[in-house]
Amino acid sequence: MSPAYILKRILLIGYTLLVVSLIVFAITQILPADAAVMMLGENATPDALAALRLKMGLNDPIWMQYLHWLGGVVRGDFGVSMRTGQPVAPAMIEALGRSLLLALFSILLMLAVAIPLGIVAAVRRGRAADLGVSFLSYIGVSLPEFVTATLMVLVLADWLQWLPATGYVPLTEDPLRGLRHLVLPVLTVSMILVAHVSRMVRSELVDVLHSDYIRAARLKGLSKRQVLFKHALRNALLPTITIVALDVGYLLGGVIVVEEIFALPGIGRQLIVAIQARDLPSIQAGALIMATTYAVANFLADICYAWLDRRIQYD
Amino acid sequence: MIEILKRMLRSPQGALGLVVVGLILLVVIVGPWSAPYDPEKMAPLMRYKPPSAQFWLGTDQYGRDILSRLLHGARATVVMAVLATALGTLVGAIVGTVSAFLGGRGDEAIMRTVDAIMSIPSLLLALLIVNLLGKSSVNALLAIALAFAPGMARVTRSVALAVRKQDYVNAAIARGESAGFIVGREMLPNVVAPIIVEMTIRVAFAVMLFATLSFLGLGAQPPASEWGLMVSEARRFMHLSPWMILWPSLAIALVAIGFNLLGDGLRDALNPRT
Amino acid sequence: MRETILDIAGYGLDYATPSGFTRALDDVSLSIARGEVLGLVGESGSGKTSLAWAIMRYLPATARETGSIRLTGQDLLKASEAEIDAIRGRRIGMVFQDPSTSLNPTLPLGEQLAEVLVRHRGLTRKQAWAEGEARLAHVGLKVPRQMMRRYPHEASGGEKQRVVIATAFACQPECIIFDEPTTALDVITARQILELFKELQAETGVASLYISHDLALVSQIASKVAVIHRGRIVEQGAVGDVFARPQDAYTKKLLAAVPRPDHRLVGMEAPEAATPLVEVEKVSVLYGRKPFLGRLLGRANTQFTGNREVSLSVMPGEILGIVGESGSGKSTLAKAMTGLNRFEGEIRFAGRRITGLSDMDRAYRREVQIIFQHPDSSLNPRQRIREILSRPLALYGEPGSRRDAAAIGELLEQVRLPAAYADRYPHQLSGGEKQRVAIARAFASKPKLVICDEITSALDVSVQASVVELLVDLQKRFGTAYLFITHDLNLVRQIAHRIAVMYRGDLVDLVDIATLSTGPLHPYTRSLLEAVPAPATAAA
């Protein structure tokens, strides 16, 4: 892995964020015929509208509005929330922290469950265990988060009363209660990921197990176990890194729904609130932060992959 | 075509997928006529009924028959998802083909931009678009189509590049065929199959995304009997009647499972590995 | 009589399929004694590899067996899984066809050798690495210590195959199965690996089963030979006997199909002509594009050369052979001449100068046709043969010329295929039949030059022979000139009037076939000639 490769990837992140900023700006500020009317509603007085237009710089040419906004973003200034009157950035960063906690737990749980499931399914290909995993994963990928979340609340919170249905307690305040509140959201978010990743692990491992070098290893007299753990897993799990990184997109989408359902004050909930309140600066900030998270996750995955896989000469 | 169908029926996924999707399409076509009740007819005395001989799946908070609502809602849910996916595929396929055809720097620029757009989660992109275009089913359809286009562009491009490397394309170039003939007659028939597979699987995802948008209040609007909306409305009453939330959830899951199975079955039927 | 190591008696193998059993091996009996090399010769699908898997006890659950396979008396069919694990790699070693796929890409070469020593000889990891280094030195690797730490992608094909061989010999097994160990390698490397095999075999006296499709090669290294066809051993015996006095019809056919340079299929002299049909003048091809970022960082240009100022000419009706190892630029030149690669320099065809793709008009393309190596890839899987063959007729045919079923039928009969094949899809044809369709397509426009890019190398020997015969026949009928690209020197010596030798993008030699054995040659050409095994009958 050369410095040029890393530099190239970093430049790509820059390009990605530039494109995303353009899209977000276009959707929020250009697409609506009049952003001021959109924010204040149809019944706003002309004076109020004019004042808002002036304040938001809506009378400037579009490209100047964009550059002005982008200049602020680069300095970490996303503007002031239309809803609360507070600067957007600090609230968003705080919310992002809570969401990342949810995402991290979900990814860890997913890896802990999906990888063994995928391995078992691949090794027992065509047998009961494989069919079972395959059946579960079809159900997993076919249930939207809002359905799983609702059903889990119904069973685990309402009927069995094992877990709290909604709400959020910071881990620093009361770790145990905080964790209890996180269980349902984490379960919900990781469900689709488990289903998807276990299928990927299975198919990668099935391919690897059919490769010439695995056969060669078996014919050298190595045991099935040795061949699986030493020769096969390494090659099968490498592509999983990329798949997990790409799944961060699904994960973030899931986070939006889950935070809304469980009233978890993360960045997804902030976004929904902002969208409902038509709070443009908050929407822009939230969307940009989410895209950045995704881009950074993929950057880290690529670096990780390049570091682990010595075969590929990156330039 | 018949051969593909035969091969699909031989694999368990393919056969099951065909049956499930076939049933769903049947419901979409004849659903509204086969419904036992008017889906919007309220019956204050018949609220929150569990399943019974009279109301097979029970009734909702206004006493409306859930089965009838599901049968009517199939169109809103499934047809919208299929249309959105088809539109997204079309846009993506054009962009992907152009990119593969251009090659070199043009290809790289287009693909980097596609990657950049893909860094906005599909759900978020759809949320933003719907919110600003206005809440409605049609806007949700457009939003989902736009959210799918980048992914489909990537798939199309990689398939097209793989086909482009085949010697029958080289043979056509060496023969002096026109670009139109090469793309249309030599490449396209070989590119279409994998795209249809990807599209089928994405219909499942579109159904879920569409339902999610409705659930968040940004897709179909009451009193429509779109399934995601039904789940959303039923949440408030889930303590009174869990049936209300169970049936539309199951319906969504069934459609998604059906299209996932069909896609996997198609993939196996089109690329026999052994 | 020396001790028998491997004894296979009345062995039969069937695979259970949904539609019943398919027979892979039928009543196979053969034995190998200490110090012996048994060459097992057969074409693809003959069951030779199935036999290797059967001996290694690596069969799918659908396999049904009869008979016995004994290793110094122990019946392997009755051995438990644990016993088999202890035998594999310890008492029976195996060398695989392609070292680039039989080595794990993510483990160092040394680890893949050392693990066998740890497993079977109970060495510690440290001891195993030291021993491994000695083993690598023994198989002729120059820098064994570094080689131990390298990954497969950091070693050449020949080096990797040496590591695989060292691994197979590591535990001094009684028997080693060699499954086409040189097929994936270049001619010269293959020769070196073969020499290594002979040395190690003589030194250790290991009983060897050498599987190959190449009769010439087997005649050089084996003491006994068995010919396998459709799962049956049709003939076996001492190499000299079998090759000199083959008894079985299939063996005779196989022997007749082996290309022999002394057996010319066309005359030595090309037809007389005043002016060349095509002249290639200083044609260069560069691959890859200049990396933008790399240039920014002042890194070296990553473009590489496919052809460097190649000049040659082809006379009307001449067969010009082009030989060289993979990556030498043979196919690159073919692609440049058919407008599939950008090139610098110029091509002159029938008096016209062609300096770029835009100069290749319909007239040029009609006169210059190309046939590719893999018919699977060169025939569109979604078009019927009719559609495939009617394209050149539609494209080049004069107005009013026929494109009907009869015309397609004639094209098919010209390549000795039934006219009824017009309605089939490519996947319904065998490999040889597909290649005939590709030939028919190339000849549809009655070209003056046909470029054959390794068109027989994906085919079995007997199929190759009939395809070559067809080409020679067509050449005589139409007076077409060929640019015949191949890595098979024996084959090209049968049919070419002149031979061009390419090495790493350069044209290093261009000699008349008559002077090939006498005239002055480039050192690379000489080593190429020396590396090619003499054909089978020479051993008799």
Query: Which of A141, A153, A260 is closest, CB to CB, to B260?
Result: A141
- The single-letter code of the amino acid at B22 is G
Are residues A217 and C297, on separate chains, in Cβ contact within 8 Å? no
Query: Which of A212, A214, A309 is closest, CB to CB, to C98?
Result: A212
- Identify the DSSP state of C272: P
- The single-letter code of the amino acid at A174 is D
Quick one: A136 exposed, middle or buried, by C-beta within 10 A (0-12, 13-18, 19+)?
Answer: middle
Are residues C338 and B174, on separate chains, in Cβ contact within 8 Å? yes
Are residues B171 and C372, on separate chains, in Cβ contact within 8 Å? yes
pLDDT tens for each residue of A6-18: 888 888 889 998 9
Are residues C377 and B176, on separate chains, in Cβ contact within 8 Å? no
This prediction has a pTM of 0.86
In the numeric block, the tokens 């989410």 are attached to A290
Are residues B177 and C391, on separate chains, in Cβ contact within 8 Å? yes
Handedness of CA A130, A135, A141, A145 (dihedral sign): negative
Quick one: C9 exposed, middle or buried, by C-beta within 10 A (0-12, 13-18, 19+)?
Answer: middle
Closest among B244, B230, B249, B262 to B82, alpha carbons compared: B262
Query: Which of A16, A24, A143 is closest, CB to CB, to B115?
Result: A16
pLDDT at A30: 65
Q: Tokens at residue C416, please?
A: 């000795």
Q: Which residues contact C298 (CB under 8 A, 6 or more apart)?
A: none
Q: What whole-number distance in Å separates Cα of residue C118 and Cα of residue C100? A: 23
Q: What whole-number distance in Å separates Cα of residue A181 and Cα of residue A162? A: 11
Does the ipTM surpass 0.95? Answer: no
Q: What whole-number distance in Å separates Cα of residue C44 and Cα of residue C22? A: 16
Mutate to test the interface with C, among A208, A220, A231, A315 (most CBs of C within 10 A): A220
Query: Which of C338, C373, C377 is closest, CB to CB, to B166?
Result: C377
Are residues A4 and C293, on separate chains, in Cβ contact within 8 Å? yes
pLDDT bracket for residue B75 (50, 70, 90):
confident
B&C contacts, CB < 8 Å: 52
pLDDT tens for each residue of A163-178: 887 778 887 888 888 8
Q: Tokens at residue C486, please?
A: 């191949």
Instruction: Compute the CA torsion angle B151, B157, B162, B165 (nearest 10 deg).
Output: -170
Whether A281 and A78 have beta carbons less than 8 Å apart is answered as: yes
Q: What whole-number distance in Å separates Cα of residue C260 and Cα of residue C214? A: 13
B52 pLDDT above the threshold of 80 = no
pLDDT bracket for residue B1 (50, 70, 90):
low
pLDDT tens for each residue of B78-94: 888 999 999 999 999 88
Which residues are registered as beta bridge partners of C344?
Answer: C284
Are residues B175 and C377, on separate chains, in Cβ contact within 8 Å? no
H or E element that contains C393 = helix C385-396
Q: What whole-number distance in Å separates Cα of residue C5 and Cα of residue C17? A: 33
Q: Which residues contact C427 (CB under 8 A, 6 or more apart)?
A: C381
Q: What whole-number distance in Å separates Cα of residue C21 and Cα of residue C8? A: 22
Whether C349 and C277 have beta carbons less than 8 Å apart is answered as: yes
pLDDT tens for each residue of C313-351: 999 999 999 999 888 889 999 999 998 888 899 999 988
Q: Which residue has the higher pLDDT, A29 or C384?
A: C384
Q: What whole-number distance in Å separates Cα of residue B50 and Cα of residue B47? A: 9
A307 touches chain C (CB under 8 A): no
B201 touches chain A (CB under 8 A): no
Q: What whole-number distance in Å separates Cα of residue C488 and Cα of residue C457? A: 8
Whether B218 and B128 have beta carbons less than 8 Å apart is answered as: no
Closest among B66, B77, B75 to B204, alpha carbons compared: B77
Q: Which stretches of chain C score pLDDT less than 70?
A: 1, 288-303, 398-403, 534-540
A44 pLDDT above the threshold of 80 = no
Would you list the DSSP string of chain A?
--HHHHHHHHHHHHHHHHHHHHHHHIIIIISSS-HHHHHH-TT--HHHHHHHHHHHTTTS-HHHHHHHHHHHHHTT---B-TTTSSBHHHHHHHHHHHHHHHHHHHHHHHHHHHHHHHHHHHHTTTSHHHHHHHHHHHHHHHS-HHHHHHHHIIIIIIIS--S-SS----TTT-HHHHHHHHHHHHHHHHHHHHHHHHHHHHHHHHHHHTSHHHHHHHHTT--HHHIIIIIIHHHHHHHHHHHHHHHHHHHHHHHHHHHHHTT--SHHHHHHHHHHHT-HHHHHHHHHHHHHHHHHHHHHHHHHHHHH-TT----
B179 touches chain A (CB under 8 A): no
Are residues C374 and B168, on separate chains, in Cβ contact within 8 Å? no
Q: What whole-number distance in Å separates Cα of residue B119 and Cα of residue C127? A: 51
Residue in chain C closest to A235 (alpha carbons) equals C106
